[in-house]
Amino acid sequence: MDHACLSKGLARFLAEGINLGTTYLLDPEESHHLKNVLRLKEGEKIILLDLAGKEYLGKIVKLDKKGVLVKAQRLLRQEKPLKPELIFLLPLLKKDWLAFLVEKAVELGVSQVIPVITERTVVKPGANFTAKLEKRARQSLKQCRRLWPLKIQKPFSLSQAAKNIVADLKIFAYENEKERTLVDVLDVNSKVEKVVFTSGPEGGFSPKEAKILKECGFESIGLGSFILRAETAALYLMSVAHFTFFASKILKKRSY
Amino acid sequence: MDHACLSKGLARFLAEGINLGTTYLLDPEESHHLKNVLRLKEGEKIILLDLAGKEYLGKIVKLDKKGVLVKAQRLLRQEKPLKPELIFLLPLLKKDWLAFLVEKAVELGVSQVIPVITERTVVKPGANFTAKLEKRARQSLKQCRRLWPLKIQKPFSLSQAAKNIVADLKIFAYENEKERTLVDVLDVNSKVEKVVFTSGPEGGFSPKEAKILKECGFESIGLGSFILRAETAALYLMSVAHFTFFASKILKKRSY
């Protein structure tokens, strides 16, 4: 029986740091999902992710009030972290758009998201801001079958984040950039290890912010002839980055 | 004074077929927006779109119970339809995702959307299905400053749409395609006039549908190592199509 068959239809649970052959106590969120939402029973087979590139076939050892004990029985799949590392400085956005972008960042192979507060950012980080984004990222990870988690930082000011970040290539979408596009700055063949992207909030980056970004080594690019909404711009950058850096490389590594 | 200054901050209204120098009665939706939402007055300047590639500086001639009379006074901007023509067969999706994709299709330069019903499509087209999508597309057009409207067809069955469509290049995203990616089928230098894309609903295309699509000349491509949600897959295709066919060409045509 191949791995696809073994894992087909089985529910997936996060078990950070789990090792083959050992028992492991699921965290309260995962335990709740297993016991109360999916109502699985002792002895049933499940999939366990160690959040460090490994996916195991496992089983439920014990269900009790303390939580759910599971065991990893067989390695199903192993992945290296995606290269290059894609980092997105994402502006806080109205409605639930930042959480939506975090979900998409997981699906599209982004390594790290740094929420940024810009001059024209209207919304403020609410209670449990980072925890909520992390929850959305975990759900997305299980759904899309990614094995390495998206790192989510605490919110920074844009200028602070821009000054601190170290990368081989830094790109920002700017509506006043009329000459260069992504085509001019992305090169699939260049040996970059880390690429940073950012795009503005509703209303875009201010001229002062564009100046700071340029001083920090970010290259400005335009996104075409139409005005993209803030969430569209970020999604567009993620999609094109995925296409440029991953589409030709990683397809054949998918094991099911 | 340049065009950017002239039009800055002015509200935009759709006036299909309007000509320079003539008066024009706005339709009820646009009249309502002008009178009751924005509360503009006679004599005020506005932007008028003819929905055939022209944008005019105009003014409000008369406000009365019959509606709003406007006049196009000066051509501000003119655009040719985007080439190649990008056509998306988009599956009906849960929640409001199809309307969301229509909004993004406008922003990303798609020419035509054909809603399709597939084997695994769960939702049914509701009352005013096409009218609702058209309304969303019109709002998006005004916001993103596009001058040619997105055409939205009535819903078709996937197999019917696949059989009827004529294009130089036809592509469908398929989770069982493990070899070819977009990189293998998209060529920015090829002289294509019309490109069709499609991606599946929640649950993906069935093997039977994949067979039909292939028989109709669609090439299957995989989208990478992770499972993309239905709305992510469609957005990804739109973004990469925009990047491939437009990003290097159209930026410099933007006049403001």
A233: left (phi over 0), alpha (psi -120 to 50) or beta: alpha
Pairwise CA distance, residues A151 & A165, whole Å: 14
Work out the percent of chain B whose per-residue pLDDT is above 70: 92
SS3 of residue A198 by DSSP: strand
What is the mean predicted confidence (pLDDT) over B178-203? 88
Cβ of residue A208 closer than 8 Å to a chain B Cβ? no
Q: Are strands A67-78 and A54-64 parallel, antiparallel or unpaired?
A: antiparallel
Cβ of residue A75 closer than 8 Å to a chain B Cβ? no
Give the confidence band of B186 by pLDDT, cuts at 50, 70, 90. confident
Give the confidence band of A253 by pLDDT, cuts at 50, 70, 90. very low
Residue B236, pLDDT above cutoff 80: yes
Residue B69 CA, chain-centre distance (Å), reads 28
Taking each helix axis from N to C end, the angle separating B230-245 and B97-107, rounded to the nearest 10 degrees, works out to: 10
Minimal Cα distance from A184: which residue of B? B248
Q: How far is B183 from chain A (nearest CA, A)?
A: 6
Pairwise CA distance, residues B216 & B196, whole Å: 12
User: What pLDDT was estimated at residue B1?
Assistant: 41
Cross-chain CB nearest to B251 (options A143, A146, A225): A225
Residue A248, pLDDT above cutoff 70: no
Pairwise CA distance, residues B188 & B247, whole Å: 10
Q: How far is B226 from chain A (nearest CA, A)?
A: 5
SS3 of residue A180 by DSSP: coil
The answer to ipTM > 0.85 is: yes
User: What pLDDT was estimated at residue A31?
Assistant: 96
Do the chains contact at B225 and A107, CB–CB below 8 Å? Answer: no
Residue B113, pLDDT above cutoff 70: yes
Query: First CA to last CA across chain A, in angstroms?
Result: 13
Contact status, residue B221 vs residue B183, Cβ threshold 8 Å: no
Q: For residue A235, give the nearest of B233, B143, B198 by alpha carbon.
A: B233
Element (H, E) at B59: strand B54-64
Do the chains contact at A227 and B145, CB–CB below 8 Å? Answer: yes
Give the confidence band of A188 by pLDDT, cuts at 50, 70, 90. low
Mean pLDDT estimate for chain A: 91
Pairwise CA distance, residues B31 & B22, whole Å: 17
Q: And the tokens for A32?
A: 């709740």
Question: How many residues are recorded in chain B?
Answer: 256
Minimal Cα distance from B255: which residue of A? A225
Residue A180, pLDDT above cutoff 50: yes
Give the confidence band of B178 by pLDDT, cuts at 50, 70, 90. confident
Cross-chain CB nearest to B144 (options A145, A227, A242): A227
Question: How many residues are recorded in chain A?
Answer: 256
* Domains in chain A: ranges and CATH: 3-78 (2.40.240.20), 85-252 (3.40.1280.10)
Residue A215, pLDDT above cutoff 50: yes
- The residues near B52 (Cβ < 8 Å, ≥ 6 apart) are B16, B17, B147, B148
What is the mean predicted confidence (pLDDT) over A52-59? 97
Give the angle subtended at the CA of A9 by the CAs of A7 and A10, to the nearest 5°. 60
Burial class (CB in 10 A: 0-12, 13-18, 19+), B218: buried
Residue A221, pLDDT above cutoff 50: yes
Residue A109, pLDDT above cutoff 80: yes
Which residues of A fall within a CB distance of 8 Å from B227?
107, 143-145
Give the confidence band of B64 by pLDDT, cuts at 50, 70, 90. confident
Which residues of A fall within a CB distance of 8 Å from B252?
178-179
Taking each helix axis from N to C end, the angle separating A230-245 and A97-107, rounded to the nearest 10 degrees, works out to: 10
Query: For residue B5, how many C-alpha atoms fall within 13 Å in the half-sphere facing its CB?
Result: 2
What is the mean predicted confidence (pLDDT) over A194-222? 97
User: What pLDDT was estimated at residue B69?
Assistant: 97
Cross-chain CB nearest to B182 (options A106, A179, A243): A243
Report pLDDT digits (tens) over B5-27. Answer: 556 689 999 999 999 999 999 99
Residue B251, pLDDT above cutoff 80: no
Cβ of residue B125 closer than 8 Å to a chain A Cβ? no
Cβ of residue B100 closer than 8 Å to a chain A Cβ? no
SS3 of residue A85 by DSSP: strand
Element (H, E) at A211: helix A207-215
User: What pLDDT was estimated at residue B253?
Assistant: 45
B66: left (phi over 0), alpha (psi -120 to 50) or beta: alpha
